[in-house]
Amino acid sequence: MQVMQPARLPHHYREMSSAEKEARIREAKAFFGNDLLIPGHHYQREDVIQFADFTGDSLQLAQLCGQTSSANIVFCGVHFMAETADMLTSREQHVILPDLAAGCSMADMASIAQTERAWEALTERFGDTILPLTYVNSTAEIKAFCGRHGGACVTSSNAKNMVQWAFAQKPRVMFLPDQHLGRNTAFALGIPLEKMAVWNPHTHELELPPGANIEEIIVILWKGHCSVHEKFTVEQIKNVRDRSPHTQVIVHPECTHEVVQAADKAGSTHYIIETLKQAEPGTSWAIGTEMNLVNRLAKQHPDKQVFSLHSTMCLCLTMNRIDLDHLAWSLDLLREGKRQFEITVAEDVAEEARTALARMLATV
């Protein structure tokens, strides 16, 4: 099997009808049978998710990849998820991301060099009192860093358990790279905002809340965020409440602390899906998460009123890089024996990152 170098989508896929691309994908699935698995994150586009063998949130997809024996995993999600899949599968299994440009801007907000530099400064200040935790929305190198320093990964489904787990090991937690998930989780566990500081990797400074005492800081949040979820505001929630007082607001914990506090409920994509499933017919829901999922939930629950908290909310642009064209192209190439955009994590990094992932998977 030949491993390909990055290339551009051939023009003819843009000209092909959707029906033809769909037929090609179906043919490839029939051709490979059990040798092909297509996992799809809940934020994937409708035309792509129809081909997913399994849909899930970040935790469910990581668990699936640890259990599958399929030789080829064509991952419909973003780069950090494909990296995780590669690290949790054997050397004989191959993970392909249909478009290499499907990254995650949040994961890009913490580089390993910035993290090492922050660690040096923070351990100098606080001594050996800190345990690092990283949201799975991070590079394999950041996961390896956490593995190396006794820490673990978390997802939005298990963050509370993992923060509690971390505090059972050390008096302080450093949470990468999403400050909002870290703050919302710690606050839900009863930690006041005055005990949380933000590490700014650009100024190389710890930003303290007004009046805080540095000695009392026990949660160090990395200054990163999700550009999709940060767009939800308290103002939007107020508008919904003014217009429709009976509507319930449910948001993802990647939203800001103020938004999560103003909402009725907050939780991972899996939690949002389950809440909607269990909701009574006739209820009304304003949802603060990625638009593909909101649109899908609206379609799946015609007996309920389901709409986005942000009326002109944009999609996650990188999740949307995986489209029919790229899925059809990557599967066509795979049938020719070519693995376009195979994701492989260097073994020394993968070994330490697996330790961080294993600590999470053993705890949840």
Using CB under 6 A, list all residues that contact ligand SF4: 43, 78, 104-106, 137, 226-228, 290, 316, 318-319
Asked if residues 52 and 58 have their Cβ atoms less than 8 Å apart, the reply is no
155 binds ligand 13P (CB under 6 A): yes
Between residues 64 and 228, which has the closer beta carbon with respect to ligand SF4? 228
**Closest to ligand SF4 by CB, 105 or 284:** 105
- C-alpha separations of 161 from 151, 208, 217, 224, 304 in Å: 13, 25, 20, 21, 32
Interface pick for ligand 13P out of 36, 39, 51, 58 (rule CB under 6 A): 58
Distance (Å, rounded) from C-alpha 353 to C-alpha 139? 9
Q: Which is nearer to ligand 13P, 13 or 175 (CB)?
A: 175
To ligand SF4, the closest distance from the beta carbon of 305 in angstroms equals: 24
70 binds, among ligand SF4, ligand 13P, none (CB under 5 to 8 A by kind): none
Going 267 to 86 to 63 to 113, the CA torsion angle's sign is negative
198 contacts which partner out of ligand 13P, ligand SF4, none, CB within 5 to 8 A by kind? none
Binding segment (CB under 6 A) for ligand 13P, from list 87-95, 153-161, 301-309, 347-355: 153-161
Tokens read off for 314:
């944009």
Token output for 140: 């394999």
Report d(CA 79, CA 83) in Å as an integer: 6
Question: Residue 120, annotated ligand binder?
Answer: no
318 binds, among ligand 13P, ligand SF4, none (CB under 5 to 8 A by kind): ligand SF4
Site for ligand 13P in 70-109 (CB under 6 A): 104
- Of ligand SF4, ligand 13P, none, which one sits near residue 105, judging by CB under 5 to 8 A according to partner kind? ligand SF4
202 is in an annotated binding site: no
**Residue 44 identity (one-letter amino acid):** Q
Q: State the nearest-atom distance from the C-beta of 107 to ligand 13P, in Å.
A: 9
DSSP symbols for 284-345? EEEEES-HHHHHHHHHH-TTSEEEESSTTPPP-TTGGG--HHHHHHHHHHHHTTEETTB---
Cβ burial, residue 111 (10 Å; 0-12/13-18/19+)? middle
In the shown chain, the binding pattern of residues 239 to 278 toward ligand 13P, with x for contact by CB under 6 A and - for none, equals ---------------x-------------xx---------
The pair of three-digit structure tokens given for residue 250, joined into one six-digit string: 């449910």
Report CA dihedral (218, 223, 226, 228) to the nearest 10 degrees: 120
Q: How many CB atoms lie within 10 A of CB 248?
A: 16
Q: Which residues bind ligand 13P (CB under 6 A)?
A: 57-58, 104, 137, 155-157, 226, 254, 268-269
Binding site members for iminosuccinate:
41, 58, 135-137, 156, 252-254, 269
Q: Summarize the annotated binding site as residue ranges.
A: 41, 58, 104, 135-137, 156, 226, 252-254, 269, 316
